[in-house]
Amino acid sequence: MSLGTTETNPDTHSGMVNSRDVAPTVAVIKTNPATVVADVGSAMRLAGYKSQLAPDVATLLKINISWQHYYPACSTSPWQLEGVIKTLNEDGFEDLIPTHNGTVVVDAREGEVNNKHDVVVRRHGLESVHLEDVEWVPLPFSDDFLVLDQIYPDGIKIPKFLIDKNVIHLPTMKTHVFTTITGAMKNAFGGLLNFQRHWTHSVIHETLVDLLRIQKKIHPGIFALVDGTFAGSGPGPRAMQWHEKNVLLAGSDQVAVDAVAAKMMGFDPMSIDFIRIADEQGLGCGQISKINIVGEDISDVNWQFQSGNTLASKGQKMIYWGNLKPLENMLLRSKLTPLAYLASNIYHNEYWLRFKGKKRINEAMKTQWGRLFLDY
């Protein structure tokens, strides 16, 4: 796509098969620490990834760092990243680019070290890109967005670096205080929006749908490999209780991947707004009955996860949807805004991590997956 291109069909660039015509495939497989790297490849191939991604196109490995500290199920795991790299190398993909984004409350450079992404990247002779370091350009097309053009009336900017490259999203299976679950679709939230992305939180579901529409236009191929070895329940993406679930998910339809993950976690996918709206917009399939689920039988799977709240998220929800809504611009789009970041950091990094998180991390390190993490 050249920067002057204007397109209106959401399937113009990505999605070799229209999701309305053919049932999307999502692979679900069981795994264990001894086989997980190879199992990543099995899941990707079972989901037909090579029919969606051209090997002669540069491929972004969009890493998820939800916290700069290591916490189980919070961020892309090292075995998840390694399995994808090895699979792509085996299948003739040579131009692989691990890709990170920071946020106003998460330091991705610290996070790639603490989550051992840097170990994997060096091992395979690759070089990571941090999106805050690249050129951001005006969105190279217009569209009938649900909310983004209203939130950013002066124009939407995206990293020029992302355009015309495949992308493989590397999320984990976890819940989220704002979106119930977070997975393949939300993994683009950090990559496509800059440090003002928090402006969209009050309309986060519609934002994720708009971002999927953008992805389909700028990426020749889109795929997701989801790690559910550790999975997180509770007020994610950070302050969760981890659970060993020993599964991997893979698929090219980002809506379908998230729908399957939501179903397994115990939610009705079509009751989650971003999944339902994307389905209604024809951007993917959120209806479990219309998804070709291969590998494990998940018909009776229900982990009974819940999203919940933290003290910090309760305050944020009051600003986005509650009594403090009239003060949203003053609190989150003014010189006072850094105080909100400071409050979040104090809560998560100084209070929750110290008094709750570290104990849970120590317990996780005693598990089979914790021992594998320590071996990296």
Output the pLDDT for position 199: 86
Domain layout of the chain by residue ranges: 25-308
pLDDT in tens, the chain (376 residues): 444 333 334 444 554 444 456 899 999 999 999 999 999 999 999 999 999 999 999 999 999 999 999 999 999 999 999 999 999 999 999 999 999 998 878 999 999 999 999 999 999 999 999 999 999 999 978 788 999 999 998 889 999 999 999 999 999 999 999 999 999 999 999 889 886 777 888 999 999 999 999 999 999 999 999 999 999 999 999 999 999 999 999 999 999 999 999 999 999 999 999 999 999 999 999 999 999 999 999 999 999 999 999 888 888 889 889 999 898 888 888 888 888 888 888 999 999 999 999 999 999 999 999 999 999 9
Q: 329: number of CA atoms within 13 Å, CB side?
A: 2
Output the pLDDT for position 292: 98
Type of residue found at 168: I
Q: What is the CA radius of gyration of the chain?
A: 19
Q: Does domain 25-308 have CATH number 3.40.50?
A: yes
Type of residue found at 99: T
> Do 238 and 105 contact (CB within 8 A), yes or no?
no
Output the pLDDT for position 329: 84
Pairing of strands 172-176, 180-182: antiparallel
CB-based burial of residue 326 (10 Å sphere; 0-12 exposed, 13-18 middle, 19+ buried)? exposed
Output the pLDDT for position 118: 98
> Rounded to whole angstroms, what are the CA distances from 309 to 74, 268, 306, 312, 318?
16, 19, 10, 8, 12
Cβ-based neighbours of 353, under 8 Å, separated by 6 or more: 69, 71
3-state secondary structure the chain: CCCCCCCCCCCCCCCCCCCCCCCCEEEEEECCCCCHHHHHHHHHHHCCHHHCCCCCCCEEEEECCCCCCCCCCCCCCHHHHHHHHHHHHHCCCCCEEEEECCCCCCCHHHHHHHCCHHHHHHHCCCCCEEHHHCCEEECCCCCCCCCHHHHCCCCCEEEHHHCCCEEEEECEEEEECCCEEECCCCHHHHHHCCCCHHHHHHHHHHHHHHHHHHHHHHCCCEEEEEEEEEEEECCCCCCCEEEEEEEEEEECCHHHHHHHHHHHHCCCHHHCHHHHHHHHCCCCCCCHHHCEEEECCCCCCCCCCCCCCCHHHHHHHHHHHCCCHHHHHHHHCCCCHHHHHHHHHHHHHHHHHHHHHHHHHHHHCCCHHHHHHHHC
Length of the chain: 376
Cβ-based neighbours of 183, under 8 Å, separated by 6 or more: 171, 173, 174, 224, 226, 257, 258, 261, 262
- Which residue in 61, 28, 58 sits closest to 42, CA to CA? 28
Output the pLDDT for position 21: 66
Output the pLDDT for position 20: 55
Type of residue found at 202: S
- What's the pTM? 0.93
Output the pLDDT for position 83: 98
Output the pLDDT for position 60: 98
Which residues lie across from 182 on neighbouring strands? 174
